[in-house]
Amino acid sequence: MVGREIPLRARAFAALGSEERLLILSYLLAQDGPHCGQIAHALGMSTSAFSYHLRILEEAGLVERTRDGRLHCLSVTPLLAELLRPEVRQHLAEEGTRWTSTSSAK
């Protein structure tokens, strides 16, 4: 089982090495269950760029997608809590409120 953990962790840490993906995670930590279009719009990302980064986060096991009718809603997985200290997650969530308050004001 240990042999499977190392590649999973390596993908997760690699996924965290992108400013765009950290922005997506900060948004998700700040707001519960936003949909894909809402996040992409708030962060000023094109649909294709957002999809690319989301795919990497999903493959790394950091984000999961659920459906709410026609919308795809996102949330972080427990793996993020395993990899990042609570203080780091809190800081990301605080950064994310900048984006969530901008998107809810529109």
Instruction: Parse the chain into domains and list their residue ranges.
Output: 18-105
**What distance in Å separates the CA atoms of residue 10 and residue 34, rounded to the nearest whole number?**
27
pLDDT tens per residue across span 39-89? 999 999 999 999 999 999 999 999 999 998 888 899 999 999 999 999 999
- Domain 18-105 architecture: Orthogonal Bundle (1.10)
pLDDT band of residue 105 (cuts 50, 70, 90) is: very low
Does the pLDDT value for residue 106 go beyond 80?
Answer: no
SS3 state of residue 29: helix
- Count of CA atoms in the C-beta half-sphere (13 A) of 75: 7
Does the pLDDT value for residue 2 go beyond 70?
Answer: no
Residue 32 has what pLDDT? 81
